[in-house]
Chains A and B, each alone.
Chain A
Amino acid sequence: MPEPTTLGLQRSLASLVLEAEPPRLELLDGCREGLLAYRELVRDGLADPLETVFPVTVALLEAEDAWAGCLDTFLAARCVTSRHYRDIAPTFLGWLVDTAWGRDRWPWLLELVHFELLETLVYRAEDAPAPPGLAPDPAPGARVVLDPAAQVVAYTHAVHRATEERPRPEAGATHLLAYRDGEGLFQLLELTPATAALLVDPRPLGEVLAALGEPDPARAFSLLASLRKAGAIAGFRANLS
């Protein structure tokens, strides 16, 4: 069955707006200025959430004369498939993962982009009911259950200290807890490796503390209780195994 003319024209317009080097305008039989307006409108519309969510990344790449090329390549890949505008920024991260774009030149680029996206992901995470049967207080035989919106992340660079003025992060193991507080506001906490382990290790807290060489659990339990009150931890589940 031949391709409908309408579909062919839609594909031509998509190429006009998404390809880094657009096809000849005569293909579309339209007025040049109007067609170029579509190219600008669509590209600006797709770039805007990236420039909003990733200001440090964009500052870095602009300073190194690479942002325009990055955006061209991303748009030409046509990987934005979600109808949700908020998904454009996560799609950009996924594209970086899949293509390894820029990884040779900026080995920590993925970490920086991931960190910049973290606030959006946590702040807007879909609400989920708290898992049932959780205890409010930590105990040696229990393990931590994070709030469904909270995330513990580990990076090899201090991406959380990078700024638009100094966008290159310094090397250094970094552990962060990102969560929503009682008001629903985004909060970020820098963790020690030991605290990060307490939050993500699936073993009972007593075993984790012993493995960490921490014989007195009181201090760790006090911290965990305060994180539960702050909204980062949903509660504590007794180990059934």
Chain B
Amino acid sequence: MAPTPFTGVGLGLRRPHMEAVAREGAQGVPFWETCPENLIGEGGRHARWCGSILDRDPVLTHGLAGSVGGFDPWDEAYLGELGAFLTRTGTPWHSEHLCFTSVDGACLHDLLPLPFTREAARHTAARARDLQARLPVPLILENITYYAPLGRPELTEGQFITEVLEGADVGWLLDLNNVYVNALNFGFDPRAWLAAMPLHRVVQMHIAGHKRCGDLVIDTHGAPVIQPVLKLMQWTLQRLGRRVPVLLERDSHIPDLAELLAERETLQGAYDAAFLPAAAHA
């Protein structure tokens, strides 16, 4: 069986780097992740550069505004375009967030939390199954950061995520930075939290930086990954025992490509080290 390119540490494909990546090649990056909402319907030279990368390199796709936990009807025309885009990229799966992004037709362009209730879990699982039926590749769902519970919780966050993943029977995009940020904001041990989760459903992981704003830690994707999150990545990889792809996200204060590539190299080293025989007992 041919080795999959979707292993190791990949990078989010962002506009400031598009030309350099198109012209200079993958530069050691095993795969890229791209957001279809930012590309579908877009023309001009950035779109051409992106298209050449999609046709050349392994790419995963990551939706931003699917509103899986929302109530607005699906945009069937967009889903048709999305399906064609996913097929073109050859992505083995498509990820969306476990959140809502629109209400009564208004798109809020942010990842807003769902109530940790059985009603919301049932609704979101049903919507995920419904969305899965309209996509040409498997759907996986990502845990988000949240800064306040929405309504009175009946479940813990972990129970809620588990009920949705199991109810929809979909894979998990485990965002480790989001787990870490939630652990800081709500005072729990991220390793204990992860140990209680259905890790067998993890298909991909995200890793990123964050920022403290007053008493809250915000998931900004605007800073380098800190050591505790890197260690959490290694711990999780060892626990999984599988070389699942990890994606380094950077969406604000985006540095030069060289700097981002250097950070990716560091993370790749940590990723590889997690699978060394001695690491399993560290």
Chains A and B come from one and the same complex: yes
Cα–Cα, bound, A17→B78 (Å)? 26
> Closest approach, in angstroms, between the C-beta of B120 and any C-beta of chain A?
4
Q: Mark B173-197, 1 if CB is under 8 A from A, else 0.
A: 0000000000001000000000000
Other-chain residue from A4, A37, A82, A184 in contact with B123 (beta carbon distance below 8 A): A4
Cα–Cα, bound, A75→B205 (Å)? 34
Establish whether residues B115 and A6, one from each chain, have CB atoms under 8 Å apart when the complex forms: yes
Chain A, residue nearest B252 (CB) = A48
Q: Is A215 an interface residue, CB under 8 A from the partner?
A: no
Establish whether residues B148 and A38, one from each chain, have CB atoms under 8 Å apart when the complex forms: yes
Q: Mark A78-111, 1 if CB is under 8 A from B, else 0.
A: 1111111110100000000000000000000000
Q: Is A133 an interface residue, CB under 8 A from the partner?
A: no
> Closest approach, in angstroms, between the C-beta of A198 and any C-beta of chain B?
26
**Chain B residues near A (Cβ < 8 Å):** 37-38, 40-48, 64-65, 69-71, 75, 78, 100-110, 112, 114-115, 117, 119-120, 123, 146-152, 185, 213-216, 218
Q: Is A216 an interface residue, CB under 8 A from the partner?
A: no
Known: A14-B103, A42-B109. A33 touches B151 (CB 8 A): no
Q: Is A157 an interface residue, CB under 8 A from the partner?
A: no
Establish whether residues A84 and B41, one from each chain, have CB atoms under 8 Å apart when the complex forms: yes
Q: Considering the complex, which residues of chain A in the window 21-54 have a beta carbon less than 8 Å from any beta carbon of chain B? A: 28-31, 33-35, 37-38, 41-42, 45-46
Known: A38-B112, A38-B147, A184-B45. A81 touches B103 (CB 8 A): no
Q: Cβ of B37: which chain A residues have Cβ within 8 Å of it? A: 83-85
Cα–Cα, bound, A122→B107 (Å)? 24
What are some 21 contacts across the A-B interface (CB < 8 A)?
Answer: A6-B69, A6-B114, A6-B117, A6-B119, A11-B104, A13-B150, A14-B106, A28-B151, A29-B151, A29-B152, A34-B185, A42-B109, A42-B110, A84-B40, A85-B38, A88-B109, A124-B43, A126-B43, A127-B43, A127-B44, A180-B45
Q: Cβ of B42: which chain A residues have Cβ within 8 Å of it? A: 86, 124, 126
Q: Cβ of A9: which chain B residues have Cβ within 8 Å of it? A: 115, 150-151
Cα–Cα, bound, A18→B107 (Å)? 11
> Closest approach, in angstroms, between the C-beta of B135 and any C-beta of chain A?
15
Chain B, residue nearest A40 (CB) = B213
Establish whether residues B41 and A6, one from each chain, have CB atoms under 8 Å apart when the complex forms: no
Q: Is A240 an interface residue, CB under 8 A from the partner?
A: no
Q: Is A125 an interface residue, CB under 8 A from the partner?
A: yes
Q: Is A123 an interface residue, CB under 8 A from the partner?
A: yes
Cα–Cα, bound, A11→B146 (Å)? 17
Establish whether residues A5 and B150, one from each chain, have CB atoms under 8 Å apart when the complex forms: no
Q: Is A7 an interface residue, CB under 8 A from the partner?
A: yes
Q: Is A183 an interface residue, CB under 8 A from the partner?
A: yes
Establish whether residues A34 and B148, one from each chain, have CB atoms under 8 Å apart when the complex forms: yes
How many A-B pairs have beta carbons closer than 8 Å: the answer is: 138
Q: Cβ of A34: which chain B residues have Cβ within 8 Å of it? A: 146-148, 185, 216
Q: Is A149 an interface residue, CB under 8 A from the partner?
A: yes
Establish whether residues B109 and A45, one from each chain, have CB atoms under 8 Å apart when the complex forms: yes
> Closest approach, in angstroms, between the C-beta of B136 and any C-beta of chain A?
19
Q: Cβ of A6: which chain B residues have Cβ within 8 Å of it? A: 69, 71, 114-115, 117, 119-120, 123
Cα–Cα, bound, A78→B107 (Å)? 8
> Closest approach, in angstroms, between the C-beta of A29 and any C-beta of chain B?
5
Chain B, residue nearest A11 (CB) = B103
Q: Cβ of B149: which chain A residues have Cβ within 8 Å of it? A: 29-31
Q: Is A10 an interface residue, CB under 8 A from the partner?
A: yes
Q: Cβ of B150: which chain A residues have Cβ within 8 Å of it? A: 9-10, 13, 28, 30
Q: Cβ of A180: which chain B residues have Cβ within 8 Å of it? A: 44-45
Cα–Cα, bound, A85→B150 (Å)? 25
Other-chain residue from A37, A41, A82 in contact with B107 (beta carbon distance below 8 A): A82
Chain A, residue nearest B100 (CB) = A10
> Closest approach, in angstroms, between the C-beta of A209 and any C-beta of chain B?
33
Q: Cβ of A28: which chain B residues have Cβ within 8 Å of it? A: 148, 150-151
Establish whether residues B43 and A125, one from each chain, have CB atoms under 8 Å apart when the complex forms: yes
Establish whether residues B215 and A41, one from each chain, have CB atoms under 8 Å apart when the complex forms: no
Establish whether residues B71 and A7, one from each chain, have CB atoms under 8 Å apart when the complex forms: yes
Q: Cβ of A10: which chain B residues have Cβ within 8 Å of it? A: 70-71, 100, 103, 112, 150
Q: Cβ of A30: which chain B residues have Cβ within 8 Å of it? A: 148-151
Q: Cβ of A31: which chain B residues have Cβ within 8 Å of it? A: 148-149
> Closest approach, in angstroms, between the C-beta of A141 and any C-beta of chain B?
32
A-B residue pairs, 7 tightest by C-beta: A34-B148, A184-B45, A34-B147, A30-B148, A83-B65, A78-B106, A127-B43
Establish whether residues A33 and B216, one from each chain, have CB atoms under 8 Å apart when the complex forms: yes
> Closest approach, in angstroms, between the C-beta of A180 and any C-beta of chain B?
7
Cα–Cα, bound, A20→B194 (Å)? 39
Q: Cβ of A45: which chain B residues have Cβ within 8 Å of it? A: 108-110
> Closest approach, in angstroms, between the C-beta of B267 and any C-beta of chain A?
26
Chain B, residue nearest A128 (CB) = B43
Cα–Cα, bound, A46→B109 (Å)? 7
